[in-house]
């Protein structure tokens, strides 16, 4: 008869290994859960500090701001101040912070004309932004004002902007701003459009430099391309319709000499005998 001996040392080692494995799995799950909780908490904190700038509402009050040299400008809600005086270009935009954190303006860039997403699919390079020399803080859920000026006589941006302003053509401003601790960098593109005796501010795009943002860039560009194609098709269809059915040329208004007999007013005529006096 063969007797089976129990190897308690081996059993103890296997039990210890199994326990260690279970503990490692539990620790791994706990770490993953804590990391997920930390990411959620960080995202919530960022949302509480995230600024988003847009043109102010039309009913917002007028704001005034002073430039170097004592030059003052003012802009009503939803509008901009655009001036070209003595070779200097002055710009200011009435803004509203629709985000939940304080916005700190860091830099800006200017381009003459509006353009489209096809012409300018992304924001200007960061090295082309002009640093903001004045501390401009815009509180959350409130209004504020941005300002910028171009003074150097040989600056190509100043020359192009001055010509556009004098010709009453649109401008495009891109603002770079952050939250209060310098994070969450955002660029907002705002068009300045002349209408009658004012300049309207119109928001175009937002770019989030430190995260992907709520709308992927690929989907945004695809949507813009669809809109541009539809616009081009509508323009071509309108041009073809006008060629097929040209509009009649309106004739000049008829003069009194062309009126029917008996419809002329009773106006005395000037005679050849020198009767040049009107009654």
Tens of pLDDT, residue by residue over 177-232, are 999 999 999 999 999 999 999 999 999 999 999 988 888 888 888 888 888 889 88
pLDDT computed for residue 264 by the predictor = 42
pLDDT computed for residue 278 by the predictor = 38
pLDDT of 21 over the 60 cut: yes
pLDDT computed for residue 270 by the predictor = 42
Average pLDDT value over all residues in the chain: 85
Per the model's pLDDT, the better-predicted residue between 44 and 123 turns out to be 123
pLDDT computed for residue 265 by the predictor = 45
- Planar angle of CA 43, 49, 175, nearest 5 degrees: 115
pLDDT computed for residue 276 by the predictor = 40
pLDDT computed for residue 164 by the predictor = 98
Reported confidence tier of residue 253, pLDDT bands at 50, 70, 90: low
Pick the CATH number of 53-211 from 3.40.1710, 2.60.60, 1.10.3470, 2.60.40: 2.60.40
Find, among 121, 124, 111, the residue nearest to 224 by Cα.
Answer: 121
pLDDT of 63 over the 50 cut: yes
Find, among 149, 174, 175, the residue nearest to 162 by Cα.
Answer: 149
What is the rounded distance in angstroms from the CA atom of residue 82 to the CA atom of residue 70? 16
Most confident of the ranges 30-39, 40-49, 141-150, 244-253:
141-150
Burial 209-247 (b: 16+ CB within 10 A, else e): eeeeeeeeeeebeeeeeeeeeeeeeeeeeeeeeeeeeee
| Least-confidence region, from 11-15, 121-125, 240-244, 263-267 | 263-267
The model's pLDDT over 155-180, given as tens digits with 9 standing for 90+, comes to 999 999 999 999 999 999 999 999 99
Copy the structure tokens of residue 77: 């809600």
pLDDT computed for residue 224 by the predictor = 81
Per the model's pLDDT, the better-predicted residue between 93 and 25 turns out to be 93
What is the rounded distance in angstroms from the CA atom of residue 270 to the CA atom of residue 278? 8
């Amino acid at each position: 008869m063969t007797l089976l001996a129990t190897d308690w040392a081996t059993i103890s080692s296997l039990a210890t290994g199994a326990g260690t494995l279970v503990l490692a799995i539990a620790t791994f799950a706990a770490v993953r859960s804590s990391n997920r909780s930390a990411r959620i908490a960080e995202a919530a904190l960022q949302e509480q500090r995230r600024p988003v700038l847009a043109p102010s509402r039309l009913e917002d009050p007028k704001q005034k701001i002073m430039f170097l040299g004592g030059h003052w400008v003012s802009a009503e809600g939803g509008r901009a101040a655009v001036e070209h005086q003595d070779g200097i270009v002055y710009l200011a935009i009435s803004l509203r912070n629709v985000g939940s954190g304080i916005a700190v303006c860091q830099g800006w860039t200017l381009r003459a004309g509006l353009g489209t997403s096809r012409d300018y699919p992304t924001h200007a390079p960061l090295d082309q932004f002009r640093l903001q020399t004045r501390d401009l803080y815009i509180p959350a859920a409130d209004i504020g004002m941005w300002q910028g000026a171009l003074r150097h006589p040989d600056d190509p941006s100043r020359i192009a902007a001055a010509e556009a302003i004098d010709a009453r053509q649109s401008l495009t401003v891109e603002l770079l701003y952050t939250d209060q601790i310098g994070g969450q960098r955002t660029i907002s593109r705002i068009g300045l459009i002349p209408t009658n005796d004012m300049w309207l501010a119109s928001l175009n795009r937002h770019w989030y430099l430190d995260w992907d943002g709520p709308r992927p860039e690929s989907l945004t560009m695809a949507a813009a391309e669809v809109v541009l194609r539809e616009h081009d098709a509508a323009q071509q269809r309108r041009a073809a319709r006008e060629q097929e059915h040209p509009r009649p040329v309106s004739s000049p208004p008829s003069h009194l000499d062309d009126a029917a007999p008996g419809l002329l007013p009773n106006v005395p005529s000037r005679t050849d005998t020198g009767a040049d006096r009107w009654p």
